[in-house]
Structure 1
Amino acid sequence: MKEVRKMDKKVELYHGSGQIVEFPEVRKTRYTKDFSWGFYCTKSYEQAYRWAERKHKHGIINVYSYTENKQLKIKKFDQMCDEWLDFIAECRVGKIHEYDIVEGPMADDTIWNFVNDYLSGNISKAVFWEYAKFKHPSHQISFHSMRALECLTYERSENVDDDTVE
């Protein structure tokens, strides 16, 4: 199991993909994600591995060093909370936020189903939290502007079978 490595105030981040992504981009897609459109990474090598393996025939883990720029608008959620739930609910229905970078727990498919039930009025916020308390969300950090992407430095890419490709 790989740990987060700090390198001179830099943190290593991972992006699971089907290709080498030396130059990350913010792309609008058909569906918005937890924190809206952006370039998504994680501190967890294992999570990036799952993203790459699950969604792509030939998965690649792209590795970046990240240096936070305190001049950017950054929103951090340390854990799932009411503010986090409201934020991802708004993002998932298309609301755009003003942050350059958003970091926090990821609503996986199971948690997202609970969020969807909450948004549809099928369950209350209290019931959402009752369901979600048994789930252990994973980490994500999303980059939403060109200035935010400048905080990332491409280091290398690896096949999901751990053979280095670049």
Structure 2
Amino acid sequence: MINVFHAGYELIMRPDLHRGRKNADFGQGFYVTKDYDFATRWAREKSGEDVILNTYELDESGLKIKYLDRDEEWFRYIFSNRRVKPDEFSEYDVIVGPIANDTIFNTLGIMTSGYLSDEEALKLLCVGPMYQQVVLKSPAAVDNLHFVSAEKRLSESIKDNKEILAKEEESYLNEVAKVMQGFDREDKR
């Protein structure tokens, strides 16, 4: 059993796998993380809504789990899912791997414009901290997920987390700029 967390605007005792976005990193599914601190930083205030951090235990026994690292396979999987292509890992119950660090700088969007090569896009997606996501993809995975508790996040803790995120984002953008300066462009003069 591992503890996993999901931040959102509602108490979720049993997730609906079909409710999430189809074009997320690892496709449609229920996204959680093993990292409590990251889960709390992920929470964003929304007018008229409480931020809820749901805690679960995931029994991994009997589940088919695909582990991904920041590499070509991970990159191709994310790129395919963002374009809503058929899920090449559909036989797995759970996918575990890094979050693509491009929420601030749309690396995959720029890549599709032809400005970045696949190799350059992969380098940019690997910039910054490596937060892990765990995505439940099958009814069997949901059956092995056991609700533990839910806690309401207070505005003060969300404000503190915004400051941490702002520092991370600034550092991330500086790293992206450094990596991009290393790209060899024919149009440089």
Please confirm whether the aligned pair reaches a TM-score higher than 0.5, indicating the same fold: yes
CA distance in 2, matches of 1:63, 1:29: 18
Tell me which stretches of 4 or more aligned residues in structure 1 moved more than 4 Å.
Answer: 28-31
Q: If each structure's strand is expressed as a fraction of its own residues, which one has the higher value? A: 1
CA contact (8 A) 1:105 1:139 kept: yes
Distance 2:4 2:20 in 1: 22
Paired residues for 1:84-99 under 5 Å: 84-97=74-87, 98=90, 99=92
The whole-number CA distance in structure 2 between the counterparts of 1:95 and 1:112 is 22
What CA distance in whole angstroms lies between the structure 2 residues aligned with 1:103 and 1:55? 28
State the Cα distance separating 1:108 from its structure 2 match: 3.6
1:37 aligns with 2:28: yes
Determine whether 1:83 maps to 2:73.
yes
Q: CA 1:66/1:15 → structure 2, altered by over 3 Å: closer, same or farther? A: same
Q: In terms of Rg, which structure is larger?
A: 2
Cα deviations across residues 82-114 of structure 1 (Å, max 9, x unaligned)? 100000111111123212211100114447711
Question: What whole-Å deviation, never above 9, does each CA across 1:1-32 have from its counterpart, x for those lacking one?
Answer: xxxxxxxxx11100011010011111245652
Pair 105,111 (structure 1): closer, same or farther in 2 beyond 3 Å = farther
List alignment gaps of at least 5 residues for structure 2. Answer: 156-189
Indicate if the aligned counterparts of 1:106 and 1:140 stay in contact, CA closer than 8 A: yes
Q: Identify the residue that residue 107 of structure 1 maps to in structure 2.
A: 100
What is the TM-score normalised by the length of structure 1? Answer: 0.80
Q: CA RMSD in A?
A: 2.2
TM-score normalised by the chain length of structure 2:
0.71
Q: Where is the helix percentage greater, Structure 1 or Structure 2?
A: 2
Identity %: 30
Which amino acid in 2 is paired with 1:100? D
